[in-house]
């Protein structure tokens, strides 16, 4: 996966941390937002449901209360003594008023006044006559007319001033019921309604109010403020909206209104809740979330720091160790002691460093061995003894006047010496090695006269192969020493070089007495005590040091049949 | 490398702390918003009269109490027992100033004598607002009340409409030194001037006493033989004048335009002894004066005058919904 640019950093720790932070922030933002939205909805739903239930309860209570008033007015109306023609028996009415009406007012603290109004009798109250306001005329009032028109059904006024009492002007709700043109009315104080309404709590600033059918306020907790024009309810909009839930902005503030109708009267119980009050509680919830998010955020940040550090720091340490190794300091400590992948990586790295160290040690050892073997081969080659014998032969030939032979021998010796001093290169071509061998064999032939014959055969294609200097000479020397020297009849030494695919095979064989199995085994193992084994062992060692495992070396011998030393080397020596 | 590690670590911790701090600050702000409530302001209201018989001042008081609940202000109401106790009011106001409340609402019993006391309050950095009756020189931060010149003029104009152009009309005021009296007199006298011959008598002072008002009516009748109309410029004067007229059996003959709307005045209006009442809005005065003082204390600029308005009430419109709301205080 490709990381966005800004996340690409040259530090794993920063990359991990930044990714974590982004993931955490995005998650927190998403969760936070969705939670807040859901909370808002849930709060809203809960509030409206709660308000709805409250309003419904209050509306029912008021319905029950008004129902009760309907019954009471019904009973009282039955008490009004009506003659058959619909007129009121004034004398009998007076006793009814004094007994029944007065008792009802005494019993019910929410009833302030009971009276009867009719065109013929005027106004009769439950109180004695002088208490009546002589100027007041209920026959002219709206509620009297409405009650007559309602034909016995109860009529409820909104809040109104009752002026039928002398020097008393009280705000009441009047329930009126007619029989013919005689109307019984009962004035209710706000006491019971207020009790019913104020028994419910609607948050800190929510409240209930009641309007009548026409939208006039029947009861409002801030009624005086409304009457003083200092406070308003959007009555028109509420009437239009009908029952149910409405949000209306009032004085720059959104308010949630819930209306329920009080069944028989057309009154409405309305609950009011400030939307900002809802939002205030939402803000509190929001604050809780934010505080919680802050905590989680801080926690995750610290965790991220610790975690990314735990991942990145060992890698950094490992890297420093690798840098040290790069600079050749193999003795570095890798201080990572963990069970996880980084621990494994560190352990592997340690093993690798150790192996490299071993290999380097081995390689150095090999170089050392090679030089040593070369030196020994050289020491083997032209021993003082050989030089003495050769020079002795030359003196002897010179005394015999065999000038040609002296020249030939001296020439060969000179070439031999020159080749053995060589250019200093460890590797030479087979061609030059064979030249050297020929000189050596020529000298030896002169010394052994007719007892030594030799054949050097080489395929042209094999001549360019390169091999360690003085590889062949010890084998030939060995063949002469063991195959010819001890045999009166003399013998033949054969050197054959042939190509074999990408290898070259070199055979050095004699037709001497050969070796028994025991000697052969000792020779093959290169035991130092075997005498002839030393030279052969030296050859094998140098081939191994040069070509690794890509060579062959065999010594074959049968008693009476001679000995053959054979080795195979690759055309392309190991680099 | 280690230094870079340290730097990284420091940046990391600072960033974490900063982001966490931002969240915490937002959270705390939210908490505070959710629980925001103004510190309770302490306001003392010094009225002209605290007697429960003084209906007007009781309604002012209701307005104050309603506003105190609304604005979370603690408002205590003090004042002399009756309106004419000017010395008492001065003494009470001085005591209040000594207690150094956040603000004072004053209904000045005397236009001139209370002015230096208002200065004293301002000198001690106490916000002060006048209600209903101002003091001389616009000293208070604001005046909340009826535009009394206008109210007096309307009373005079109503009277002009009730009587003929040559009618004799008397103006009965309360005290010579109260702002309400001075202003209403000015308005009423102006409206009654130049009526085409009709005599305008006054202003005469009843000194907030019904008996004095009664005496004024009787003396006027003795002196002039016939009086066609009386404009009474406050509650006591109105009741005193109207009762006398009713007692003398002259109701309907002497037209009366009065001020304010006590129960007794309403009854007199209903009985058609009084023809019209100029009704002020005492509840609004109380309520709005507290609103203004609360704003003044918080350092907002406030209007130098808040007109609470007035209405003319006749017998014919007194039971209209809007008028009935105005003149009958809601007592629960």
pLDDT at position A223 is: 83
Give the C-alpha separation, A294 to B149, whole Å: 63
Q: Do B329 and A295 touch (CB under 8 A)?
A: no
pLDDT tens digits, B237-252? 999 999 999 999 998 8
Q: What pLDDT does residue B5 have?
A: 64
**Confidence (pLDDT) at A575:** 43
Whether residue A301 and residue B325 make contact (CB cut-off 8 A), yes or no, is no
Read off the pLDDT of residues B284-308 as tens digits, 9 standing for 90 and up.
Answer: 999 999 999 998 988 888 899 999 9
Highest mean pLDDT among A377-381, A422-426, B43-47: B43-47
- Encode B105-120 in three state secondary structure: EECCCCCCCCHHHHHH
Residue with tokens 């006044």: A113
* pLDDT for B1: 47
**Could you give the angle at which helices A191-198 and A12-79 cross, rounded to 10 degrees?**
160
Question: Stretch B63-79: mean pLDDT, rounded?
Answer: 88
Question: Over 70: is that where the pLDDT of A532 sits?
Answer: no
Does the structure show a pLDDT above 60 at A574? no
Q: Taking 50 as the threshold, does the pLDDT of residue B36 lie above it? A: no
Closest to A171 (Cβ–Cβ): which among B27, B28, B330? B330
Q: Is B266 helix (H, G, I), strand (E, B) or coil?
A: helix
Mutate which of A112, A221, A230 to test chain B, going by most B C-beta atoms within 10 A? A230
pLDDT on residue B331: 61
User: Cα–Cα–Cα angle for B59, B60, B61, nearest 5°?
Assistant: 85
Residues of B within 8 A of A144 (CB-CB) are: none
Query: Which among B24, B281, B331 is the nearest to A294, CB-wise?
Result: B24
Distance from CA of B215 to the nearest CA of A (A): 25
B262 pLDDT higher than 90: no
DSSP 8-state class, residue A165: B
Q: State residue B313's pLDDT score.
A: 94
Do A222 and B66 lie within an 8 Å CB cutoff?
A: yes
pLDDT above 90 for B170? yes
Using a CB-CB cut-off of 8 Å, the residues of chain A touching B24 are: 290-291, 294
Asked if the model's pLDDT at residue B137 lies above 50, the reply is yes
Mutate to test the interface with B, among A112, A159, A224 (most CBs of B within 10 A): A224
Closest by Cβ to B12, choosing from A17, A225, A226: A17
Q: Work out the mean pLDDT of chain A and round it to a whole number.
A: 82
Rank A3-7, A288-292, B208-212 by mean pLDDT and report only the highest.
B208-212
Tens digits of per-residue pLDDT, A101-113?
A: 888 888 888 898 9
Task: Please report which confidence band the pLDDT of residue B34 belongs to, taking 50, 70 and 90 as the band edges.
Answer: very low
Contact across the interface for B321 and A163, Cβ inside 8 Å: no
Q: Which of B13, B22, B328 is nearest residue A171 as measured by Cβ atoms?
A: B328
Q: Give residue-wise pLDDT tens across range A378-401.
A: 656 566 777 888 888 888 888 888
Say if CB A501 and CB A509 are below 8 A apart. no
Task: Give how far the C-alpha of residue B126 lies from the chain's centroid of Cα atoms, to the nearest Å.
Answer: 20
Closest-CA distance of chain A to residue B24, Å: 5
Largest CA distance in chain B: 117
Give the nearest chain A residue to B17 (CA atoms).
A298
B263–A223 CB contact, under 8 Å: no
Cβ contact, residue pair B16, A290, below 8 Å: no
Sheet holding B229-232, edge to edge: B200-205, B169-173, B229-232, B255-259, B276-280, B310-314
Cα separation, A310 vs A515, whole angstroms: 71
Residue by residue, DSSP assigns A390-456 as: HHHHHHHHHHTT-HHHHHHHHHHHHHHHHHHH-SS-SEEEHHHHHHHHHHHHHHHHHHHGGGEEEEE
For A228-376, where are the E strands, in sequence order? 244-250, 253-262, 267-274
**What does the buried/exposed string (b/e) look like for B226-243 if buried means 16 or more CB atoms within 10 Å of the residue's CB?**
ebbbbbbbbbbbbbbbbb
The torsion angle over the Cα atoms of residues B82, B84, B90 and B91, rounded to 10 degrees, is -50
Best to test chain B binding among A136, A169, A283, A312 (most B CBs inside 10 Å): A169
Q: What is the pLDDT of residues A310-359, one digit of tens each?
A: 777 778 888 888 888 888 777 777 666 777 787 888 888 888 888 888 99
- Selecting from B22, B264, B332 the residue whose C-beta is nearest the C-beta of A194 gives B332
pLDDT tens per residue across span A34-92: 877 887 788 778 878 888 888 888 888 888 888 888 888 888 888 888 777 777 777 78
User: Where is mean pLDDT largest: A485-489, A535-539, B208-212?
Assistant: B208-212
Share of chain B above pLDDT 90, in %: 49
CA distance B161 to chain A (A): 25
Nearest chain A CA: its distance from B4 CA (Å): 11
Task: Give B325's contacts in chain A (Cβ within 8 Å).
Answer: 226-228
Q: Average pLDDT of B25-48?
A: 71
CA A31 to chain centre: 17
Among chain B residues, CA nearest to A193: B332
Closest residue in chain B to residue A195, using alpha carbons only: B332
Give the nearest chain A residue to B6 (CA atoms). Answer: A309
**Mean pLDDT value of segment B317-327:** 85
B263 has a pLDDT exceeding 60: yes
Task: Pick B232 or A85 by higher pLDDT.
Answer: B232
In chain A, what residues touch B34 (CB-CB under 8 Å)?
A: 280-281, 283-284, 287
Cβ atoms A431, A464 nearer than 8 A: yes
pLDDT in the model for residue B128: 92
> How far, in Å, CA of B122 to CA of B139, rounded?
9
Q: Above pLDDT 70, what percent of chain A?
A: 92
- Per-residue confidence (pLDDT) for residue A144, from 0 to 100: 92
Instruction: Label residue A469 by pLDDT band (50, 70, 90).
Output: confident
Q: Which of these, A186, A205, A166, A2, lies nearest to A101 by C-alpha position?
A: A186
Residue A479 or B157, more confident: B157
Greater confidence (A323 vs B232) lies with B232
The pLDDT of residue B111: 87
Region A447-457 average pLDDT: 84
Query: For residue A202, what pLDDT band results from cuts at 50, 70 and 90?
Result: confident
Q: Which two structure tokens, joined as six digits, stand for A380? A: 């083997």
* Chain A CB contacts of B8 below 8 Å: 11, 13-14
Chain A residues closer than 8 Å to B21 by CB: 294
Does pLDDT of A410 surpass 50?
yes
CA B141 vs. chain centroid, Å, equals 15
Give me the residue from A230, A280, A295 closest to B287, CB to CB.
A230
Q: What is the pLDDT of residue B3?
A: 61
Residue A416's alpha-carbon distances to A95, A381, A382, A410, A419, in angstroms, are 171, 10, 9, 10, 5
A contact test, residue of B252, B328, B331 with most A CBs within 10 A: B328
Q: In sequence order, what are the beta bridge partners of A510?
A: A493
Per-residue pLDDT, averaged over B105-118, amounts to 90
Please say if the pLDDT value at position B215 is more than 60: yes
Among A131, A287, A309, A315, the residue to mutate for chain B (most B Cβ within 10 A): A287
Give start and end residues of each alpha helix (H) in A80-206: 90-96, 102-107, 142-150, 191-198
Contact assignment for A161 to B328 by CB distance below 8 Å: yes
Given a cut of 70, whether residue B13 has pLDDT beyond it is: yes
Answer yes or no: do B281 and A166 touch at CB < 8 A: no
A407 within 8 A of A414, measured Cβ to Cβ: no
pLDDT of residue B228 exceeding 60: yes
HEC assignment per residue over A45-99: HHHHHHHHHHHHHHHHHHHHHHHHHHHHHHHHHHHCCECCCCCECHHHHHHHHHH
Chain A neighbors of B22, CB-CB under 8 A: 294
CB B86 within 8 A of CB B63: no
Query: Distance between CA A13 and CA A315 in Å, rounded?
Result: 10
Nearest CA in chain B to A313: B5
Distance CA A459, CA A499 (A): 7
pLDDT over 50 (residue A370): yes
The residues, ordered by sequence, that sit 6+ positions from B246 with a Cβ below 8 Å of its Cβ are B268, B271, B273
How many pairs of residues across A and B have Cβ atoms under 8 Å apart? Answer: 117
pLDDT at B265: 92
Structure token pair of residue A81: 């003594």
Q: Tell me which of A112-126, B147-161, B255-269 is least confident.
A: A112-126
Closest residue in chain B to residue A171, using alpha carbons only: B330
């Amino acid at each position: 996966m490709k990381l966005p640019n800004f996340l690409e950093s040259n530090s794993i720790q920063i990359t991990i941390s930044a990714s974590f932070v982004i993931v955490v922030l995005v998650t927190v933002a998403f969760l936070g937002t969705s939670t807040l939205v859901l909370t808002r909805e849930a709060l809203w739903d809960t509030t409206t449901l709660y308000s709805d239930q409250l309003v419904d309860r209050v509306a029912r209570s008021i319905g029950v209360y008004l129902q009760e008033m309907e019954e009471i007015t019904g009973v009282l109306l039955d008490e009004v003594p009506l003659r058959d023609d619909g007129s009121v028996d004034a004398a009998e009415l007076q006793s009814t008023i004094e007994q029944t009406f007065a008792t009802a007012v005494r019993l019910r603290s929410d009833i302030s006044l009971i009276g009867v109004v009719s065109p013929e009798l005027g106004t009769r109250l439950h109180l004695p006559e002088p208490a009546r306001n002589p100027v007041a005329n209920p026959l002219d009032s709206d509620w009297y007319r409405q009650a007559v028109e309602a034909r016995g059904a109860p009529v409820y006024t909104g809040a109104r001033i009752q002026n039928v009492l002398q020097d008393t002007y009280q705000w009441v709700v009047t329930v009126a019921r007619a029989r013919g043109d005689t109307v019984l009315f009962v004035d209710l104080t706000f006491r019971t309604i207020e009790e019913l309404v104020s028994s419910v709590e609607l948050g800190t600033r929510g409240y209930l109010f009641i309007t009548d059918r026409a939208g006039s306020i029947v009861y409002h907790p801030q009624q005086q403020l409304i009457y003083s024009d200092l406070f308003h309810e959007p009555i028109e909009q509420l009437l239009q909206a009908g029952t149910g839930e409405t949000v209306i902005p009032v004085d720059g503030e959104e308010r949630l209104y819930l209306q329920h109708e009080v069944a028989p009267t057309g009154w409405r119980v309305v609950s009011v809740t400030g939307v900002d009050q809802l939002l205030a509680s939402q803000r509190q919830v929001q604050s809780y979330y934010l505080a919680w998010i802050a905590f989680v955020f801080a926690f995750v940040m610290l965790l991220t720091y610790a975690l990314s550090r735990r991942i990145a720091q060992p890698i950094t340490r490992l890297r420093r160790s690798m840098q040290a190794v790069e600079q050749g300091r193999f003795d570095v400590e890798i201080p990572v002691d963990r069970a996880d992948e980084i621990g494994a990586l560190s352990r592997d790295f340690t093993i690798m460093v150790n192996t490299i160290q071993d290999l380097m040690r081995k390689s150095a050892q090999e170089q050392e061995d090679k030089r040593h073997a070369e030196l020994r081969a050289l020491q083997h080659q032209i021993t003082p003894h050989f030089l003495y014998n050769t020079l002795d032969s030359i003196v002897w030939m010179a005394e015999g006047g065999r000038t040609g032979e002296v020249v030939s021998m001296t020439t060969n010796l000179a070439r031999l010496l020159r080749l053995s001093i060589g250019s200093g290169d460890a590797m030479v071509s087979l061609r030059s090695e064979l030249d050297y061998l020929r000189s050596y064999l020529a000298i030896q032939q002169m010394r052994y006269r007719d007892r030594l014959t030799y054949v050097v055969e080489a395929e042209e294609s094999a001549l360019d192969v390169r091999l360690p200097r003085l590889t062949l000479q010890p084998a030939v020397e060995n063949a002469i020493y063991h195959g010819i020297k001890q045999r009166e009849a003399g013998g033949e030494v054969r050197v054959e070089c042939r190509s074999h695919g990408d290898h070259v095979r070199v055979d050095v064989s004699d037709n001497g007495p050969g070796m028994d199995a025991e000697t052969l085994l000792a020779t093959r193992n290169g035991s130092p005590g075997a005498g002839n084994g030393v030279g052969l062992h030296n050859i094998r060692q140098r081939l191994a040091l040069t070509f690794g495992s890509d060579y062959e070396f065999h010594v074959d011998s049968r008693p009476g049949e001679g000995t053959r030393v054979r080795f195979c080397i690759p055309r392309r020596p190991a680099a | 490398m280690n230094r870079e590690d340290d730097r990284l670590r420091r940046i990391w911790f600072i960033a974490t702390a900063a982001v966490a701090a931002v969240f915490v600050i937002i959270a705390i702000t939210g908490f505070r918003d959710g629980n925001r409530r103004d510190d309770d302001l302490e306001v003392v209201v010094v009225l002209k009269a605290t007697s429960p018989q003084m209906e007007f001042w009781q309604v002012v008081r209701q307005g104050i109490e309603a506003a105190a609940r609304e604005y979370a202000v603690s408002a205590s109401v003090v004042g002399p027992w009756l309106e004419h106790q000017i010395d008492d009011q001065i003494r009470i106001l001085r005591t209040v100033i000594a207690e150094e409340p956040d603000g004072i609402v004053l209904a000045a019993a005397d236009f001139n004598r209370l002015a230096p006391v208002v200065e004293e309050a301002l000198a001690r950095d106490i916000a002060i607002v006048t209600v209903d009756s101002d003091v001389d020189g616009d000293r208070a931060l604001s005046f909340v009340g009826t535009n009394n010149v206008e109210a007096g003029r309307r009373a005079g104009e109503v009277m002009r409409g009730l009587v003929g152009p040559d009618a004799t009309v008397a103006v009965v005021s309360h005290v010579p030194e109260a702002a309400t009296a001075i202003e209403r007199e000015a308005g009423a006298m102006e409206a009654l001037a130049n009526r085409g011959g009709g005599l305008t008598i006054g202003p005469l002072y009843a000194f907030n006493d019904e008996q004095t008002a009664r005496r004024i009516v009787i003396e006027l009748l003795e002196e002039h033989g016939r009086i066609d109309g009386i404009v009474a410029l406050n509650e006591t004067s109105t009741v005193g004048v109207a009762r006398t007229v009713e007692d003398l059996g002259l109701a309907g003959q002497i037209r009366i335009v009065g001020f304010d709307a006590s129960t007794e005045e309403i009854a007199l209006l209903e009985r058609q002894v009084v023809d019209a009442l100029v009704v002020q809005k005492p509840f609004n005065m109380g309520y709005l004066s507290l609103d203004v003082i609360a704003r003044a204390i918080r350092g907002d600029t406030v209007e130098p005058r808040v007109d609470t308005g007035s209405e003319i009430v006749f017998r014919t419109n007194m039971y209209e919904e809007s008028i009935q709301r105005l003149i009958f205080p809601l007592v629960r």
